[in-house]
Amino acid sequence: MRPPYSYIARTAPKLGFKGTKRLACVLGGCMWHLVGSRRRLAVNAIEHHLNVSRVKAEEIAKASFIHNFRSFLELVLVGRIDEDFCRNTIKEGRPGVIEQIASIKGPVVAATAHLGAWEILAGMLGSLIASKQRDALVVVRRNKNEGLHELICHFRGSQGARVVDHRKAVFTVLKALKREGLAAFLVDHNCPRNEAIFLPFLNDIAAVNMGPAVLAVKANATVVPVFLIRDELGGYVFHVDTPLTPDQLQGSRDDKIRQVAEFYTGAVEKYVRDYPEQWFWMHKRWKTRPEGAEASRSHDRQ
């Protein structure tokens, strides 16, 4: 008997890029009008953390709803993101960045965010890295719904990247990194206090997941911020920031972990400020607070 997600796995990709874009406009618009709690959460967060007017915050938030739905739906298209698609369709933020990410020597930790076309990015990393006979891992949080989790893993891994549950990732990721592989992490989500380093992020203090930093330091990996941003024409632009190499880190192990976490958090903040309408504002990013600290103003409103 076929698994319960098999029908979706076979039929959803037929939507294509135009179909997912149209459906995202419909679903994003519906959620904007119907789910007032998420609308208010996003608008309040933008107004406070970007220090913009209420009108501007609403404009950014509404655009982000549509961008976010498009990102979720693009999950079904990961299988189409082969090496030819990457080199012929995706633009480079600066010349040579696609070759740069594919040719970095040694272990690599790629840090990205729920920004732009993050699901398409999973396909890129799979096709560019796995095609060169290197391990390519995408570390994700496990969905509570087993069927949905299987579906997500099916699509995210359809270009050769291996999807790893973040709670079971340590041994698997370290093994891959020691073989000079690449492990990609979404580093912008809220996390429990016992997994966090508290760092400045968008005019507030946020709980930053230190897991990717711990693994990078342990494996002596190069840390590379990578983002796939949509352009005004509906295409994609691949950005790779200047990497952080192990020899740039100083001090104790804890000092190095903090430096890595500060590095990827700073990169995410820069891109969120540049492309605020493409970030996942409806997420309760500042929910976890330092022990004894007052809730942020945005959290009070959530």
236 backbone dihedrals φ, ψ, rounded to 5°: -125, 140
User: What is the pTM (predicted TM-score) of this model?
Assistant: 0.92
Is residue 71 within 8 Å of residue 27, measured between CB atoms?
A: no
Q: What is the pLDDT of residues 220-269, one digit of tens each?
A: 999 999 999 999 888 899 999 999 999 999 999 999 999 999 999 999 99
Which residues are 239's β-sheet partners?
227
Structure tokens at 298: 């945005």
DSSP E strand stretches across the chain: 91-92, 108-112, 136-140, 162-165, 182-186, 196-200, 205-209, 222-230, 236-240
Full DSSP string of 202-219: SSSEEEEE-HHHHHHHHH
Structure tokens at 154: 């099916």
Distance CA 6, CA 23 (A): 21
Q: What is the pLDDT of residues 108-139, one digit of tens each?
A: 999 999 999 999 999 998 888 876 778 999 99
Q: What is the pLDDT of residues 32-72, one digit of tens each?
A: 999 999 999 999 999 999 999 999 999 999 999 999 999 99
Is residue 230 within 8 Å of residue 236, measured between CB atoms?
A: yes
pLDDT of residue 151: 82
Residue 150 has pLDDT above 90, yes or no: no
- 37: three-class secondary structure by DSSP: helix
216 Cβ partners below 8 Å, 6+ apart?
109, 223, 260
Distance CA 9, CA 51 (A): 42
pLDDT of residue 260: 98
Distance CA 41, CA 62 (A): 12
Question: In which band, very low, low, confident or very high, does the pLDDT at 197 lie, cut at 50, 70 and 90?
Answer: very high
Average pLDDT, the chain: 90
Residue 27 is inside which H or E element, if any?
A: helix 16-34
